[in-house]
């Protein structure tokens, strides 16, 4: 895991991305756990000011700056008040087709009843997914998954365990699929992505297969699965480390051609 600023500078300068014109680079970053620390109450989360400043500086320098988060779009607009940043909420999931929407509605109704006797748990309904939060409970992720598994509707819904949250949506959908649909049309010269949680795994997997220059930046925490960052080129400690990488990209992008 890289922690020192000079180590970050060295890793960036020796990467293939350092030879891509800044105006051809797309940057994609998660929000919670990457730009912002994880907190007990998600409503109280806030991005590090230095991270937002870096994003603001990068907007006119790069081809695109994207925040791709599981947060609903309306929340992202409040949390990332940076003009020019493209905000993609709900992990970029497409609005589910009729059968999936009905399955999700049934899950929400059943899960709400199931969570009632578990203090500290709560269900967040989003346009194309549902999040079951249990950070403030005494339950483990495995216990919560076991509790909810019977409610999943066969092939129509899947559940993924993250940092004290379970994301429920259409199987095989997620950030990787969203980027696979988006990036080819953008035709970038290079891509760098940041993420910290299980729902970023598909993004790392997709970006790591690209033939164009790319870098996956894993944002480490004690809650991260041990194999989450296997596809990452760089791993840094928490949002402080992610901010340091963003600031390094700012300095690189400002250099004269």
Residue 152: band (very low, low, confident or very high) from pLDDT cuts 50, 70, 90: confident
* 207 and 162 both lie in a single domain: no
Final residue of a domain: which of 169, 184, 213? 169
Residue 256: band (very low, low, confident or very high) from pLDDT cuts 50, 70, 90: confident
Residue 248 to residue 254: CA distance in whole angstroms: 10
**Domain at 164, CATH number:** 3.30.70.1020
**Domain at 52, CATH number:** 3.40.50.1000
* 163 and 182 both lie in a single domain: no
Predicted confidence (pLDDT) at residue 7 exceeds the cutoff of 70:
yes
Final residue of a domain: which of 169, 185, 206? 169
* 122 and 164 both lie in a single domain: yes
Residues 145-149: contacts with CB within 8 Å, 24+ apart?
A: 147/114, 148/111, 148/114
Over range 66-86, report the average pLDDT. 95
Percent of the chain predicted with pLDDT > 70: 99
Residue 153: band (very low, low, confident or very high) from pLDDT cuts 50, 70, 90: low
Of 173, 78, 184, 82, the C-alpha closest to 127 is 173
Q: How many DSSP H helices and E strands does the chain contain?
A: 8, 10
Strands (E), 118-196: 122-125, 130-133, 158-161, 165-169, 190-195
Nearest-Å Rg of the Cα atoms of the chain is 18
* 89 and 179 both lie in a single domain: yes
Could you give the strand order of the β-sheet that contains 130-133, starting from the edge strand earlier in sequence? 122-125, 130-133, 165-169, 158-161
Task: Report pLDDT digits (tens) over 180-233.
Answer: 999 999 999 999 999 999 999 999 999 999 999 999 999 999 999 989 999 999
Low-confidence winner among 47-51, 112-116, 157-161, 180-184 (lowest mean pLDDT) = 157-161
Domain residues for the domain of 111 are 98-169
How much is the pTM?
0.91
Predicted confidence (pLDDT) at residue 95 exceeds the cutoff of 70:
yes
* 162 and 44 both lie in a single domain: no
Domains of the chain: total: 2
């Amino acid at each position: 895991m890289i922690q020192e600023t000079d180590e970050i500078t060295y890793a960036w300068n020796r990467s293939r991305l350092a030879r891509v014109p800044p105006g051809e680079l797309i940057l994609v970053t998660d929000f919670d756990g990457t730009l912002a620390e994880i907190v007990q109450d998600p409503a109280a989360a806030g991005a590090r000011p230095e991270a937002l400043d870096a994003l603001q500086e990068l907007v006119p320098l790069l081809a695109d700056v994207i925040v791709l988060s599981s947060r609903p779009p309306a929340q992202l607009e409040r949390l990332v008040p940076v003009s020019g940043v493209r905000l993609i909420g709900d992990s970029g999931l497409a609005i589910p087709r009729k059968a999936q929407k009905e399955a999700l509605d049934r899950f929400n109704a059943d899960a709400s009843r199931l969570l009632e006797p578990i203090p500290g748990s709560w269900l967040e309904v989003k346009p194309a997914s549902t999040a079951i939060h249990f950070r403030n409970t005494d339950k483990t992720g495995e216990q919560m998954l076991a509790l909810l598994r019977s409610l999943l509707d066969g092939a129509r819904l899947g559940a993924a365990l993250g940092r004290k949250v379970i994301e429920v949506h259409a199987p095989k959908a997620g950030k990787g699929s969203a980027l696979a649909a988006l990036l080819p049309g953008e035709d970038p010269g290079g891509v760098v992505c940041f993420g910290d949680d299980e729902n970023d795994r598909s993004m790392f997997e997709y970006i790591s297969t690209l033939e164009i220059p790319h870098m996956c930046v894993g944002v480490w925490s004690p809650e991260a699965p041990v194999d989450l960052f296997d596809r990452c080129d760089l791993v840094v400690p928490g949002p402080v480390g992610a901010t340091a990488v963003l600031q390094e990209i700012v300095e690189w992008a400002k250099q004269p051609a």
